[in-house]
Structure 1
Amino acid sequence: MSSARRLRIGLAAYGTGWDLEAWRLPGATNSGLLDPSVIVDVARIAERGKLDYVFSGSALATEPNRLNRVFRWDNSVYAGTLAAVTEHVGFFPSYNTSFEHPYFVARQIATADRFSAGRIGVNLVYGIDREGGPAGNFGGWPLPGEQSKYDRADEFTEVLFRLLHDSWDHDLLLDDRDGGTLIRPDSWHPIDFVGKHFQVRGPLNAPPPVQRKVPLIHVGESARSLELGIRHAEVRFSPYYGFEEGKRRYQQVKQQVAEAGRDPDKFLIIPGITFFVAGTKREAREKFNEAHRVQTEEVIPAYFSKVFGVDLAGVRASSRAADVLPLERLSGDALKTNRSGGLAREASTVKRGGLDDAHWLHDLLAKRLGEDLTLAELYHAVQSHLHGEQIFVGDTAGFADWLEANFVERVFDGIQLFPPYHRGPADFFVDNVVPELQRRGLFRREYESRLLAENLGIA
């Protein structure tokens, strides 16, 4: 494969998949909450498809009533176990800078990168993640405030990467048996960091990572968060803003990266995508509708009644949206304003992105689900977008077309797949969509390297 720009693809792995209703489908496998072999299978699927990485999110609260947050495997153990049964696919474990210490995280990342032969990245979450009361599990922990959390995250990131990459020279092993010197003198270096939140002498008591720079993912929408990401990260996990708005924001962020003195071609913008893809559009929509049939006929009409200020009493969720809604009045502001009210999906989802424009709505109505979009389909698309993710429902060629258009027009550099359930969607993507992307020259046929940073094109 040539050195031309290629689509980057990651796969998120959770015990039940990502969709809040699809776990009830007859073909879903939910034992992944308890059985690690299910997640091992997901990693093997990703590698079979030549995907770049497997992503695992982190949560520190105890939330038994929230499907996507019932359990979260310990990220370092998770990544290490999956790395042991794969050879090329990378891993991005997540850590929370408000609750964790950079020295411990550096030990885990350096160890995992050595044991995986260079396939580990890191996702640093700045948020305090107050939902579910995580502070109750860390009694006495000096929790930062909403503003000081960024100062702490900045220090955390600096300490982490100085420990990883400045503590030891890579040629540290002298192995002079005759002279009696195992470690080369002067090959280690204290970092002597003293800040407001951390004081770390170093060096790290683990060898340096195989990769010369462990890739970092940034997540966050605030101006301060984005500024930290532009300075430190190689990958931005971004909301999907729609086609035209996405292009504008893509160029804006890349320009900011260049102004910070960094190479914008080595800073990837990757949104999350939940997908229902099948051999035909009809099959995909049937699966999507089957997964969300559990929503009551009262909840969905009531939601849009509130958004539009119209009476939808007696209207079914399966009704064609264009027949019962004044869609010309549909706006991001209206949906954002009216998203409260205890709806089942909203109460069980973590907000990950903003909704300050309507570009994605026009894209949804005009291009993806068609003019026969039902109230139920529109509702679930809205809920996904409100929480920072895009949802695609369609056939193989349609998904490939959508990916190609957004990639070529520089709306994004790649996608992070959030399969709605295990295992069927991930298998279908690898067996059907990946070959189509390869045929179009958009995606690799073989891994270029054994190192995650090199496969991502950011080394």
Structure 2
Amino acid sequence: MTQAKQMSLGMNILGFGSHSGAWRQGEAGLNAYIDVDYYRNIARICERGCLDAIFLADGPALPPDVASQPGGRLEPTLLLTAVAAATEHIGVIATCSSTYNEPFNLARRIASLDHISGGRAAWNVVTNAGDAAAQNFGLSGAPLHVDRYGRAEEFVEVTLKLWDSWEDDAIIGDRATGRFADPSKVHTVDFKGEHFQVKGPLNLPRSPQGRPVLVQAGSSEGGKALGSRYADAIFTTQTTLPDGLAFYREMKQRAKAWGRDPRHLKIMPGLSTVIGSTEAEAHARFDQLNAWHGEHGLLQQVAGRIGIDARELDPDAPLPWTQIGAVADFERGSHGFLEAQLNLARRENLTIRELSRRILVGHRLAVGTPEQVADTLAEWFLAGAGDGFNIMPDMFPSGAQVFVEEVVPLLQKRGLFRREYQGRTLRDHLGLPKAVNQYTQASSAELSAGLSPSPSVIY
């Protein structure tokens, strides 16, 4: 019998939790967000549940609300190297900006993480909006949306070429003859584009997965174009099932149009969770966190997304649709988060106050029992709105622990999630094949056509 399809599950570690009031609850020490053991503990909890990966968001600027929120984050590739050394199976996904990095250095860092982890690394490609990050890199303000994604596409193209610059069998390792590598299988990149000029090759052999998993986390037009062409997985912000279904179908069709196998592009919507043993307990937990954050803080989250001062909003009225404008005209912020928030408010005719209690960090929110959380995951998965999900608990570590101990077993009983790891690499967990080297593929095509392989060797 053919085994039924199973979902993928990632855990997004957002500081103390996805709720802005989590740090005030006091579940973890005040320095936990810069303590490597805090992250190792969460990763081990997730590994006990056989989750695919942990995921670290990041941005190269201090958030503006440092007066009321813990400020700063450890650098993801360094932190995840330490986490990988303390775990055996779980994948490690680092967010790094294509706007404020250079391809060679970042390609090397992520490939190093893949080697060190034994093939469990991924790069989450982001294009940073916001002027604060830009001003840390000599710019007066953030590049426009279209420019950020133009640079991102080139960045990814160069990175993939660098990751492939050593063929799988380039290392000979013949001690008797003293021949270490075959130079004909180590390729220059010689990339010259609008944004980058990179010679290559990478000064590191090909990594255990062929190349690290590439993740993309944008739902704008630029993000969808980039993700459908290059990504192995897309983290998305859909908040209603109709929108989730539409996004899933669109991305699979786009991948197919690029000549890709749509099964090799995993769509993973985000889900924020607040879980209690009863529905009343879950809502009490949520209310307590909201009380720490305050009514004004909840409204500020909505105001920040739509770009309107909170003082101009009536909490008990619908969104001021005439003032918001088109998502495509929103130049410097996240199109995906804005669209997800607007779609939810429009479909359910929510007031601003109601909307502020339906979304955490821009993603769909589930407040309820383990059974209810398992139900909503199963509903979206079986309907075809996702190949898996990126989970964002309200607080750490308890939110991760209750998900692993209470929700995961329910999914396992339904045959929707694994009971044990079936492989060692992140590609194994996600059900993705080992990446094919583009230079090997090109040489094979040339040989089958009766041509000599194109010269691109380093020496």
Alpha-carbon spacing, 1:409–1:331, altered in 2? closer, same or farther (3 Å): farther
Cross-structure match for 1:249: 247
Q: How far apart, in 1, do the equivalents of 2:60 and 2:294 lie?
A: 32
Cross-structure match for 1:19: 19
Cross-structure match for 2:152: 153
| TM-score (normalised: structure 1) | 0.82
Q: In structure 1, give the amino acid aligned to 2:82.
A: T
Q: In structure 1, give the amino acid aligned to 2:380.
A: N
Alpha-carbon spacing, 1:399–1:182, altered in 2? closer, same or farther (3 Å): same
Q: How far apart, in 2, do the equivalents of 1:444 and 1:298 lie?
A: 42
| 2:233 corresponds to 1:235 | yes
Alpha-carbon spacing, 1:358–1:13, altered in 2? closer, same or farther (3 Å): closer
Q: Which runs of 5+ in 2 are unaligned?
A: 304-308, 326-332, 434-459
Q: Give the drift of 1:331.
A: 6.9
Alpha-carbon spacing, 1:353–1:69, altered in 2? closer, same or farther (3 Å): farther
Alpha-carbon spacing, 1:350–1:158, altered in 2? closer, same or farther (3 Å): closer
Contact 2:238-2:340 at 8 Å conserved across structures: no
Cross-structure match for 1:88: 89
Cross-structure match for 2:440: none
Contact 1:111-1:207 at 8 Å conserved across structures: no
Alpha-carbon spacing, 1:458–1:187, altered in 2? closer, same or farther (3 Å): same
1:6-85 matches, within 5 Å, as: 6-63=6-63, 65-66=65-66, 70-85=71-86
Q: Report the count of equivalent residues.
A: 418
| 2:210 corresponds to 1:212 | yes
Which of 198, 201, 213 pairs up with 2:199? Answer: 201
Q: In structure 2, give the amino acid aligned to 1:117.
A: G
Alpha-carbon spacing, 1:446–1:25, altered in 2? closer, same or farther (3 Å): same
| 2:357 corresponds to 1:381 | yes
Q: Secondary structure at the match of 1:355?
A: helix
Cross-structure match for 1:370: none
Cross-structure match for 2:455: none
Q: Give the drift of 1:135.
A: 2.9
Alpha-carbon spacing, 1:363–1:87, altered in 2? closer, same or farther (3 Å): farther
Q: Secondary structure at the match of 1:121?
A: strand
| 2:337 corresponds to 1:353 | yes
Cross-structure match for 1:439: 413
Q: Give the drift of 1:381.
A: 2.7
Which of 386, 400, 423 pairs up with 1:412? Answer: 386
Which of 264, 269, 282 pairs up with 1:271? Answer: 269
1:282-293 matches, within 5 Å, as: 282-293=280-291
Q: Deviations over 1:13-66 (max 9, x none)?
A: 133222111222243444322321111111111111100111111211133634
Q: In structure 2, give the amino acid aligned to 1:418.
A: M
Q: In structure 2, give the amino acid aligned to 1:186.
A: S
Alpha-carbon spacing, 1:310–1:192, altered in 2? closer, same or farther (3 Å): closer
Q: How far apart, in 2, do the equivalents of 1:295 and 1:143 lie?
A: 29
Alpha-carbon spacing, 1:331–1:62, altered in 2? closer, same or farther (3 Å): closer
Mean Cα deviation higher: 57-66 or 75-84: 57-66
Q: Secondary structure at the match of 2:271?
A: strand
Alpha-carbon spacing, 1:111–1:61, altered in 2? closer, same or farther (3 Å): same
| TM-score (normalised: structure 2) | 0.82
Q: In structure 2, give the amino acid aligned to 1:106.
A: A
Q: In structure 2, give the amino acid aligned to 1:210.
A: P
Q: How far apart, in 2, do the equivalents of 1:257 and 1:87 lie?
A: 32
Q: Secondary structure at the match of 1:393?
A: strand
Q: Give the drift of 1:389.
A: 0.4
Q: Deviations over 1:264-295 (max 9, x none)?
A: 22211112111111111011011000111135
Cross-structure match for 1:98: 99
Q: Secondary structure at the match of 2:291?
A: coil
Contact 2:98-2:125 at 8 Å conserved across structures: yes
Alpha-carbon spacing, 1:433–1:300, altered in 2? closer, same or farther (3 Å): closer
Cross-structure match for 2:123: 122
Q: Give the drift of 1:216.
A: 1.2
Contact 2:341-2:362 at 8 Å conserved across structures: no
Q: Secondary structure at the match of 1:92?
A: strand
1:216-227 matches, within 5 Å, as: 216-227=214-225
Q: Deviations over 1:411-448 (max 9, x none)?
A: 22211111222111100000110011000100000111
Contact 1:217-1:233 at 8 Å conserved across structures: yes
Q: Give the drift of 1:246.
A: 1.9
Alpha-carbon spacing, 1:454–1:74, altered in 2? closer, same or farther (3 Å): same
Q: How far apart, in 2, do the equivalents of 1:176 and 1:296 lie?
A: 67
Q: Give the drift of 1:126.
A: 2.0
Q: Deviations over 1:281-310 (max 9, x none)?
A: 011011000111135567879999x99x99
Alpha-carbon spacing, 1:407–1:29, altered in 2? closer, same or farther (3 Å): farther
Q: Secondary structure at the match of 1:272?
A: strand
Cross-structure match for 1:322: none
Q: Secondary structure at the match of 1:226?
A: helix
Q: Give the drift of 1:170.
A: 1.8
Q: How far apart, in 2, do the equivalents of 1:355 and 1:448 lie?
A: 37
Percent of pairs with identical residues: 31
Contact 2:358-2:365 at 8 Å conserved across structures: no
Cross-structure match for 1:260: 258
Q: Give the drift of 1:2.
A: 5.7
Q: How far apart, in 2, do the equivalents of 1:351 and 1:69 lie?
A: 25
Q: Give the drift of 1:388.
A: 3.0
Cross-structure match for 1:320: none
Q: In structure 2, give the amino acid aligned to 1:47.
A: E
| 2:15 corresponds to 1:4 | no
Q: In structure 2, give the amino acid aligned to 1:159.
A: V
Q: How far apart, in 2, do the equivalents of 1:145 and 1:361 lie?
A: 27
Q: Give the drift of 1:395.
A: 0.3
